[in-house]
């Protein structure tokens, strides 16, 4: 009976590769941590190290990683070239720096860190750390007017109230003080816009936080708005020659008065917007504009004949729309035309328009309130034979217009990822 030579019908394990060894097709060797199969019969060189160019092809890629510690898992190393053992969750007392989306962290600290409670698990969502343990609730809050915009939940406080988170977490918050009232007499300065404090990431606990909205000034400075331990100052007011101080200064009155000084104290971790001075008054019975949270109030122009406009407010999108906040009130003018030719316009962000108290000729001096705001500042009001200053926009912190415009109330807006 004829004999048929089938040759090798299975690979032949040869162990560790060695020099000066004869290898044939389908021999398998080990080199370092990987195994290789012979593709071309050959004799290994008498010296040197293993090389695939000698007639080998990778059969199984190995790794030098041994056994890890209890609780560790295999991870790809930072270079993406090998495996390594590491914790399934980063366990430390501070939030990991430069985390990637989906990273996990267990807060080992005895206190809340970055909004994550002690001994709690968190997941990085690409923006902030959020509590994420099995069965734990999603961060949310109650209080104010609650709406959503895109990825965010927003709480808007137009009146005083309470914000209560269900668990510790992080919020974004803007606090705006009440706008200063415009000078009550004719040809005097506009009120200063309220000061603003802002924080992009503010940790809160799962408890109630009181929020007190500052009123706009009515022949007075604006009232501070208080929230989360921060007090945003009201805008300045003055009914005398020089402007009054505040979060933003009020405009000066006629007789070449000096604009009021804006002051916003630095608070660690918070960004202050404001601290702008009011505009100077003119020699011809016209007032300067109040300072806004984004710029100074304007001084009188045209040799003091034209009242100054209110300073621009601070621009920010925290409620789904880019708006200006806390514009300055326009300076007040004077009639008849031998004393002044125009009133000041309110600054963007709810500043009230300046008015002209005097006689029926005041109707020629109507000016505009500041727009691009949560509520626009009021245009010059008609009061029979006079034109009183316009009110600052409600809940904008806008200053009132010179000649009697009331300042706008403050506001607090909180938002967080839904």
Mean pLDDT over residues 31-54, rounded?
89
pLDDT in tens, 181-191: 999 988 899 99
Residue 160, exposed/middle/buried by CB under 10 A (0-12, 13-18, 19+)? Answer: middle
In this structure, of 70-74, 99-103, 349-353, the range with the lowest mean pLDDT score is: 70-74
pLDDT at position 383 is 53
Mean pLDDT over residues 309-334, rounded?
96
Give strand pairing partners of 272: 197
Higher pLDDT, 376 or 403: 376
| Same domain flag for 111 and 191 | no
**131 confidence band (pLDDT: 50, 70, 90):** confident
The torsion angle over the Cα atoms of residues 148, 153, 158 and 163, rounded to 10 degrees, is: 150
| Same domain flag for 157 and 41 | no
Total domains in the chain come to: 3
Question: What is the spatial distance between Cα 55 and Cα 73, in angstroms, rounded to a whole number?
Answer: 36
| Same domain flag for 240 and 353 | yes
Q: Is residue 96 part of a domain?
A: no
Over 60: is that where the pLDDT of 216 sits?
yes
H/E stretch holding 35: strand 34-38
| Same domain flag for 287 and 317 | yes
| Strongest mean pLDDT among 9-23, 195-209, 337-351 | 195-209
Of 135, 157, 189, the domain-final residue: 135
**CATH at residue 52:** 2.10.10
* Percent helix, percent strand, percent coil in the chain, to nearest 5: 0, 30, 70
Q: Is residue 79 part of a domain?
A: no
Q: Is the pTM of this model over 0.85?
A: no
| Same domain flag for 318 and 178 | yes
pLDDT at position 360 is 43
pLDDT, mean over the chain: 89
Q: Is residue 87 part of a domain?
A: no
DSSP 48: S
Mean pLDDT over residues 279-288, rounded?
89
Mean pLDDT over residues 22-41, rounded?
92
Q: Do strands 90-92 and 104-107 pair parallel, antiparallel, or not at all (unpaired)?
A: parallel
In this structure, of 128-137, 226-235, 238-247, 254-263, the range with the lowest mean pLDDT score is: 128-137
Chain-centre distance of CA 56, in angstroms? 59
Q: Is residue 416 part of a domain?
A: yes
Distance in Å from the first CA to the final CA of the chain: 82
pLDDT at position 135 is 58
In this structure, of 106-120, 186-200, 302-316, the range with the lowest mean pLDDT score is: 106-120
Q: From 338, 347, 358, 359, select the one nearest 390 (Cα to Cα).
A: 347
pLDDT at position 359 is 44
Q: Is residue 85 part of a domain?
A: no
| Same domain flag for 280 and 141 | yes
Over 80: is that where the pLDDT of 239 sits?
yes
**Percent of the chain topping pLDDT 70:** 89
Mean pLDDT over residues 236-262, rounded?
95
| Same domain flag for 42 and 180 | no
| Same domain flag for 239 and 164 | yes
| Same domain flag for 125 and 246 | no
Q: Is residue 65 part of a domain?
A: no
Question: What is the spatial distance between Cα 166 and Cα 148, in angstroms, rounded to a whole number?
Answer: 17
| Same domain flag for 43 and 152 | no
Q: Is residue 77 part of a domain?
A: no
**123 confidence band (pLDDT: 50, 70, 90):** confident
pLDDT at position 124 is 86
Mean pLDDT over residues 280-300, rounded?
93
Question: What is the spatial distance between Cα 374 and Cα 360, in angstroms, rounded to a whole number?
Answer: 32
Residue 213, Cβ neighbours under 10 Å: how many? 24
Question: What is the spatial distance between Cα 23 and Cα 57, in angstroms, rounded to a whole number?
Answer: 13
Q: Is residue 378 part of a domain?
A: yes
Over 60: is that where the pLDDT of 291 sits?
yes
| Same domain flag for 177 and 28 | no
Higher pLDDT, 363 or 280: 280
pLDDT at position 134 is 56
**Which structural domain, as residue segments, surrounds residue 43?**
13-59
| Same domain flag for 115 and 247 | no
């Amino acid at each position: 009976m004829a004999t048929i030579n089938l040759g090798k019908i299975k690979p032949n394990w040869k162990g560790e590769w060695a020099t000066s060894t004869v290898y044939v097709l389908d021999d398998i060797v080990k080199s370092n941590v990987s195994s290789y199969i012979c593709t071309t019969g050959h004799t290994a060189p008498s010296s040197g190290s293993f090389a695939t160019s000698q007639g080998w092809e990778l059969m199984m890629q190995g790794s030098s990683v041994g056994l890890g510690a209890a609780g560790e898992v295999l991870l790809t190393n930072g270079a993406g070239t090998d495996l390594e053992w590491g914790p399934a969750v980063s366990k430390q007392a501070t939030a990991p720096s430069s985390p990637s989306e989906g990273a996990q962290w267990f807060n080992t600290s005895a206190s809340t860190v970055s909004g994550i409670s002690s001994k709690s698990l968190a997941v990085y969502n690409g923006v902030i750390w959020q509590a994420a343990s099995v069965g734990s609730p999603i961060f949310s809050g109650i209080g104010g007017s609650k709406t959503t915009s895109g990825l965010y939940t927003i709480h808007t406080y137009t009146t005083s109230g309470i914000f209560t988170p269900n668990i510790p977490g992080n919020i974004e918050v803007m606090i705006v003080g009440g706008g200063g009232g415009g000078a009550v007499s004719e040809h005097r300065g506009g009120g200063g816009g309220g000061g603003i404090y802002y924080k992009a990431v503010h940790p809160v606990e799962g408890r109630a936080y009181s929020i007190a909205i500052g009123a706009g000034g009515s022949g007075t400075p604006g009232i501070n708005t208080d929230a989360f331990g921060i007090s945003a100052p009201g805008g300045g007011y003055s009914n005398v020659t020089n402007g009054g101080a505040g979060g933003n200064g009020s405009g000066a009155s006629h007789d070449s008065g000096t604009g009021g000084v804006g002051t916003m104290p630095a608070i660690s971790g918070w960004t202050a917007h404001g601290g702008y001075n009011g505009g100077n008054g003119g020699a011809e019975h016209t007032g300067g504009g109040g300072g806004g949270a984004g710029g100074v109030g304007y001084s009188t122009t045209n040799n003091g004949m034209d009242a100054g406009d209110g300073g621009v407010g601070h621009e920010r999108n925290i409620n789904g729309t880019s708006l200006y906040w806390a514009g300055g009130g326009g300076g007040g003018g004077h009639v008849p035309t031998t004393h002044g030719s125009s009133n000041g316009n309110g600054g963007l962000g709810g500043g009230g328009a300046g008015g002209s108290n005097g006689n029926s000729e005041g109707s020629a001096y109507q000016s505009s309130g500041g727009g691009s705001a949560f509520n626009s500042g009021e245009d010059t009001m008609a009061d029979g034979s006079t034109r009183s200053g316009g009110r600052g926009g409600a809940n904008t912190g806008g200053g009132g217009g010179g000649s009697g415009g009331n300042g706008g109330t403050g506001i607090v807006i909180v938002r967080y990822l839904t």
